[in-house]
A and B are shown apart, each in its own frame.
Chain A
């Protein structure tokens, strides 16, 4: 079978699996977030944290919950790393330095999972399992909660109430993430992913075959359980430095496809949940179509540019295999890399920096879109809905009415909040990248430089780092030493601000929408469930993002790819 055909077949299987899971999972989540019943385990949890799960929160209260919970998460994770040296099961690893501990804590709480450390050389079992894995669950559940609050803003009227953050957080974790993770972990273990608390082993030849690898050390760990939530919660922080390219995390072609499925399944299914909760599943389908078109388009382009393997070295080699696993090949690696950059995952099964210049550009652009196709769990949906608000505003004017979306007027306040939302990440990405281009310290971290004839690639690496951080992706273009005080601090800030500032605007918007009275639909209403609107939304997203980042992309991947 030709590699192209294999890639296309894998993509087809993936789409089929996602389609199968779409309705049941979407409906399940809609039920989870609207059920009046609490499970016994949940009641115990509520009692422990002293929350009343039935108290309705207005947006400031909801936001306070999100921020307080996350702040505690950052602090806990920071302390855990700083104290690692004294913890049991730490495999002898020392405590983490303050700037790296801050960076890692911010990273995991912000659902980014940017890692300026190597898992197998820095983090012991306790930090991995009690710290990082727990955040993998709750940071994902926090994102889903905020998305659901925004959906309630659309669905509810004449009230400012957005639901209860604690209940949304706990339910998202217990009823959605944990059950799927259990099943997923079993699948991964069955396929060969490891799950133990074993210590450091001296391993011989790492891969079979002559001349591959030598003696090296590796440790065990609760890898399968962490791997599954890493993908499912669009976290992306690998147990091992090689992330999903590591055979303990991602043993074979099937687990690779399964992990891509896990990355995409919740973000896509949330559009169904959205449709159910606003009482019109077709609205959800329109959002799904928008996400799907962008995702498939990016995947097709990525496979095209990787299979075309432009450039003399790649042509000579016969395939763009540099940085890709032979277990997966070009097709599966392309699918994975698009899925991970169009969501806030950032897990990698191949080396992003080694993709062709245009491939790297697609990964960058995918994140720059704001990771909304389908995006991170929760964050993808609310990011897409914000773009829908912007698109509705412009298109709504063109049908001669004050713009409205889902029966809610998009007025001054709404557009102000949406505008603030879309300003956050470009400010962080472009601002920090620009600063890094003039600060000698920051420039010193770059391994690819103009002097080496790789100026544009070096620039892409820095741009990628901040794009990944501010958009909460977490994947990296290697070639940049990011474990420096400058990058640890600025990327840490980018991750926190890029995660929580948008949430402030989303929740404020939700509150504003929930207070409105609904406008009934008439023939004069812009039909936001029609293909025309989905097309318009795709166009709006591409043009707004394209215009913002075109100069930066031109000097990075375009300059590299067109040379």
Chain B
């Protein structure tokens, strides 16, 4: 959670706490390296969901709902017509069978969508529980009054004390409190919310556990974060994304082509003396139009959003999820994303005339009271590398601890007539010289060398009977998270450039960038620099994704194509981004990109599959229709289907069943691995293109075999 406006002060010993426990980048991915499991997998598909969603699926048969999916609407119209024709000749089992299977095709499509939506509904119900009606204590000119939470307006000030439910979204303007946000994040550990800074945002529906805060309301009731979240996971706010619209257009035009092919077929057939029953033509039409993808398209979209929700990421629009797939530049904050949240002591370097042990001893002494991660790491290093037993503060009677301040930029201890100090180079040198001590001439060289290597030098000085002097240098190093280099290599193979953003100086930044394997870095970054970088990348036609939490990140978050705000961040940041990560884990940006890609791949794969399927259906139906008029056409019946009726019925049944068979794939998403576009295309073309050509030949033949076993159908 660095605020890039504040370059990290060497030796300051202050670090903003990292919101997340660091974890190896892969371990939180379900199905990580299991064979057959997608790297980005959704939850498991439970067949019971199909049964549970059936009422919803039937409700969706309403033509006003169906018309939104042009392909399935055509199937529904076909089902109605087929049913009518079947009614006209009630004794014809074939007509009824076709009618039943056409209806099943529509219902299966609705079922897919209903199942996808059903998963969101469960989450929405949990959220609703958190959104109880609250009573707000509004401050009106300093006087507290009780109003309903729904009456709050933007700008109102409300007071919350321990045990209160926060009545609406806002920023803390006074006080500090611990807040239970488990209603939203599912994380039971309380978080600190305080006025000012980047941890001021509070969310309506969360509970204050301690202390008293004054909150300035920033959203209208009904539009709060929790309201939006409910809408999002329920799919109520779902709008078709640009790419989904484009695909729908392609599917609609294919539907028109096939409608044309089937409508004009009747005159051709009449001329050939083989006029076709309407039911057969309707069956042919439904087989040809891309029902597989048409049926699953919206389920794929909903499931994509759902996969994000399962990872505790809320996308404010489907458009953002799609954009994530297109991202070609990732801006990653160094701290917390690439490196562990803090620097760690790597070595003690003595100046000429002293020993490492002396430096280690003094460094340890000066850090005993230092509870920052850097301070702890110095103690740990002294113990592990130099065997220095950790002394407890209590052992040192009369010790006078000198805490770090922004002015002195040093900390240390005065004990037993010894004064030990450690801190920023300049400050420590000044301290030594002030006291008339000498500064070893190689101290500056050593610190420069460490800086150039990307580390942060802390000088350690001691004043004892020999007078004040510099002992040596502590080398603090940023520790790059495990597995990041591999992750960045993967991203590079996917064609994504990573840029590390840091407040460090260019030297430090470069060293870490090299170690982590990012493609580029932005050192001494200010919010303006970040903004300029985003605009520059975008001007080159690239889509940029970034994470941010501070108010000063807000403009960049808004400018980025994918702006992921941390839930711990300010409400301005959350407002500006188009996604919110409830776990506040910046590394998740990479997963978000993968989910976006997976969403598009799933659409493309099923479209290819759907179109490729048609070839086999022609070979089943055309001979069935015309082998009587032109016996030669029976040669095209390469599947050797048992009878014309059985051939047509088998094609229709296959067409319906394949939808149900592919629901799990639509919900889970096509397997995605970070490889180059070429390899991915080759693989998906083989599986879904060739597979789509071959599968229906086998499927239709199999169904035909089963049908031919039913007596009395020929």
Q: Which residues of A contact B (CB under 8 A)?
A: 390, 393-402, 407, 410-412, 414-416, 419-420, 422-423, 426-427, 430-431, 433-435, 437-438, 443, 450, 455-456, 459, 517-520, 522-527, 530, 532-533, 536, 539, 543-544, 546-552, 554-555, 558-559, 561-563
Contact = CB atoms under 8 A, between A and B. Distances in A.
Given A420-B253, A520-B541, A550-B622, A438 B272 contact: no
B257 A411 contact: no
A455 B328 contact: no
B569 to A, nearest CB: 28
B680 A400 contact: yes
A412 B495 contact: no
B242 interface: yes
B604 interface: yes
B632 A547 contact: no
The 6 tightest CB contacts between A and B, nearest first, are A397-B604, A524-B495, A400-B597, A522-B495, A562-B632, A419-B253
A550 to B, nearest CB: 5
A421 to B, nearest CB: 10
A431 B260 contact: yes
Contact of B271 (A393, A437, A550): A437
A552 B494 CA distance: 44
Contacts of B366: none
Contacts of A525: 495, 677
Contacts of B322: 402
Contacts, number: 222
Residue of B242, B630, B636 contacting most chain A CB atoms (<10 Å) = B630
B269 interface: yes
A397 B607 CA distance: 9
B630 A563 contact: yes
Contacts of B243: 397, 402, 411
A455 B269 CA distance: 11
B247 to A, nearest CB: 7
Interface stretch (B95-103, B582-590, B609-617): B609-617
B672 interface: yes
Contacts of B246: 393, 410-412, 414-416
B633 A396 contact: no
Interface string B248-269: 0110110011101111111111
Nearest to B608: A394
A555 to B, nearest CB: 5
A430 B260 contact: yes
Interface residues of B, number: 76
Contact of B328 (A394, A427, A438, A520): A520
Contacts of A551: 261-262, 265, 268, 618, 622
B627 to A, nearest CB: 10
A562 B492 contact: no
A552 B258 CA distance: 12
A435 to B, nearest CB: 7
Contact of B630 (A399, A435, A524, A555): A555
A552 B541 contact: no
A412 B249 contact: yes
A407 B328 CA distance: 13
Contacts of B258: 547-548
Residue of A395, A415, A555 contacting most chain B CB atoms (<10 Å) = A555
Interface string B630-660: 1111011000000000000000000000000
A34 to B, nearest CB: 23
Given A525-B677, A526-B677, A563-B631, A456 B272 contact: yes
A394 B601 CA distance: 9
Contact of B264 (A410, A430, A563): A430
B273 interface: yes
A334 to B, nearest CB: 23
A369 to B, nearest CB: 14
A558 B638 CA distance: 14
Nearest to A414: B246
Contacts of B253: 419-420, 422-423
B200 interface: no
A437 B270 CA distance: 8
A398 B672 contact: no
Nearest to B676: A523
B261 A519 contact: no
B524 interface: no
Given A519-B328, A525-B677, 16 more contacts: A393-B247, A395-B604, A398-B688, A411-B246, A412-B242, A430-B264, A437-B267, A437-B270, A438-B270, A450-B272, A523-B492, A524-B494, A525-B495, A550-B622, A551-B261, A561-B632
A399 B261 contact: no
B88 to A, nearest CB: 23
Contacts of A547: 257-258, 261, 288, 611, 614-615, 618
A37 to B, nearest CB: 32
A390 B689 contact: no
8 contacts: A395-B681, A402-B322, A415-B247, A517-B541, A523-B495, A543-B615, A551-B265, A554-B633
Given A415-B250, A524-B494, A558-B636, A438 B681 contact: no
A253 B638 CA distance: 41
Given A422-B257, A555-B626, A402 B633 contact: no
B264 A520 contact: no
